[in-house]
Structure 1
Amino acid sequence: MRRVLFLMLSLIILAGCAMSEDDKLFQKSNKQNTIYISAATSLEYVLPEVITAFEKKYPYITVEATYASSGQLSSKIQQGAPVDLFLSANYEWVDVLNKEGLIIENSLKKFIGNDLVLIANADSQFDLLKLEDLKFIPFDQLVLGDPVNVPAGDYAKEALESVGLWEDLKDKYLFLKDAHQVVDYVESNKAELGIVYASDTHQNEQIRVIKEINKDLHSPIQYYTGITSYSTNHHDAETFINYLQSEQTAKIFESYGFNKLSVEK
């Protein structure tokens, strides 16, 4: 009888220790943890404020963020970069990683939106009623994020294709590494025109929005999260995702020119 009780006790102890590795990764930690985030360049101005508010609410979690185009960040994750959470400016780059088994599928969640705008230097005289009027405006260069790696550039390409201008203006394009560089070129008059996110123009008095691009001309601009499958800090990354989708955080994003989305948690 004593032996039977011993065996039963041993089985209970083993069952308690048999928590899967994934379960362990999602357990709340009592010690200071760090989340390493790779975020789209267009989040570079707003995310520090979000992180500050998050760390105040969750003092046991530290967040460190790096920024680049979504395509560049996706490539880094494919190479095994130390990243817990990927914040992409579109669904496609997170989905690429998901299909390669590098992102936890149920962590793909949208959290904020944006608009697309045509910009010029603040001192310019450009004006137009609709995007199609670009073909009637005399200019030498239109700068865009590289459509291959930069979602803002891809959305811009979609919009120009929708109005039949993509091929017509092909000799005027200059593709850059991210939307911030596009803004820099227009600010410094290295290029007359550029297409960026509305949030990229927030409180920038050196550039002027000459046309808000119709949402129907391109895919919806939505930002997505993705926890890397090799992260060892899934729980805290998930906590940050939930915070990104909160009403409090949406207000921060909106103050920087982003659009609130109806999100499913």
Structure 2
Amino acid sequence: MRLMFLCLLCCVMPIKALADDLVVFAAASLKGPLDAIAADFGDVVVSYGGSGTLARQVSQGAPADVVLLANAAWMDVLVADEWVATAVPFVGNALVIVGQPDADEVALTPDGLTTALGGGRIAMGFTNSVPAGIYGKVALEALGLWETVAPRVVEVDNVRAALNLVARGEVPIGVVYQSDALIVPELEIVARFPRDSHPEIAYFAGVTAQATHPKAAKFIAFLGTEAAQKALSDAGFCTDRQRC
């Protein structure tokens, strides 16, 4: 039954799993270091997406053994509805604005953002479901900037999509995580949001109610090992090795 469900899921998700693979649903911003961590652990298949989308899929019975989300609120929903028994934080991140190569630093003021935008728009994850978009809107509101940028926001379904819009030159700036900004070295981090302008950015891991793999809990424990934390730190995430 599990294998049949996985085959059906392949029609809508980029996942190819064997019956004995550990299936992990993970926030899109984790791709890169998590691929390396999964390879080190062995026999893991990871499907990436927006945290809100993944949470909904888990709550609909999708056959994930482990879920890794970039937002406490979405994980709280899964715990409250008993789709996840216990959630544990395993890494953090910082929120930044990225711009084009050689772009000037952007002042987090109405005039500063207006100048940076020029005639363009600002890319963000969906502000009602994608964690980076949620954090970004909260931060912009806290700084009194949301009304300035709201009419010019392009909302997309995950933070990597926002990054790609900037990388392709379709928008001049975008709100992304620090770790995402490092993926495209040609882009510049032009502004960093103050840590007190938004809730702490933490990623949470949990074993799902429908998990069948015997190593699901071991994989979550593996995320806390020195090797895994180094991989995350090297990719720009916030750990004990690298504070944000």
What interval of TM-score do these two structures reach, taking the shorter chain for normalisation? 0.7 to 0.9
**Is the 1:110–1:224 Cα contact (8 Å) retained in structure 2?**
yes
Per the normalisation by structure 2, the TM-score is 0.85
| Residue of structure 2 equivalent to 1:48 | 35
Alpha-carbon separation, structure 1, partners of 2:231 and 2:209 = 29
Name which of 151, 165, 168 aligns with 1:188: 168
Do structure 1's residue 213 and structure 2's residue 193 form an aligned pair? Answer: yes
- Do structure 1's residue 68 and structure 2's residue 49 form an aligned pair? yes
Amino acid at match of 1:128: V
What displacement does 1:136 show?
5.0
**Are the counterparts in 2 of residues 131 and 211 from structure 1 also a CA contact under 8 Å?**
no
Aligned match for 1:114, one of 93, 116, 138: 93
1:117 is paired with a residue whose SS is strand
What is the aligned partner in structure 1 of residue 22 from structure 2? Answer: 35
Whole-Å separation in 2 of the counterparts to 1:248 and 1:53? 9
Superposed CA offset, 1:28-53 (max 9, x none): xxxx9421100000011111111122
Between structure 1 and structure 2, the one with the greater Rg is 1
**CA RMSD after TM alignment:** 1.8
Please give the residue correspondences for 1:114-133 in structure 2 after superposition, counting only pairs within 5 Å.
Answer: 114-123=93-102, 125-130=103-108, 133=112
Q: Please state how far the C-alpha of 1:255 moved relative to its aligned partner.
A: 0.7
Give the Cα separation in 1 of the matches to 2:117 and 2:60.
44
Distance 1:82 1:261 in 2: 32
Distance 1:120 1:231, change over 3 A: same
Q: Distance in 1 between matches of 2:117 and 2:62?
A: 45
Q: 1:248 aligns with which of 206, 210, 227?
A: 227
CA distance 1:131–1:180, change in 2 (3 Å): farther
Structure 1 residue aligned with 2:177, among 194, 197, 214?
A: 197
C-alpha spacing 1:145/1:218, structure 2 compared with 1 (3 Å): same
Q: For the residues of structure 2 that align with 1:203 and 1:138, how far apart are their CA atoms?
A: 22
Residue 28 of structure 2 contacts residue 48 of structure 2 at CA under 8 Å; is this kept in 1?
yes
Measure the CA separation in 2 of the matches of 1:173 and 1:255: 30
Q: Could you tell me which residue of structure 1 aligns to residue 129 of structure 2?
A: 149
Residue 261 of structure 1 deviates from its aligned partner by 4.8
* Matched residue, 1:100: 81
Residues 1:43 and 1:138: Cα distance change in structure 2 (over 3 Å): closer
Q: Secondary structure at the match of 1:83?
A: coil
- Select which of 218, 223, 237 maps to 1:239: 218
- The 1:131/1:114 distance shift into structure 2, 3 A limit, reads farther
Contact 1:158 1:218 in 2 (8 A): yes
Q: For 1:141 and 1:255, how far apart are their aligned partners in 2?
A: 30
- Structure 1, unaligned stretches of length 5 or more? 1-31, 56-61
Structure 2 segments unaligned to the other structure (5+ residues): 1-18
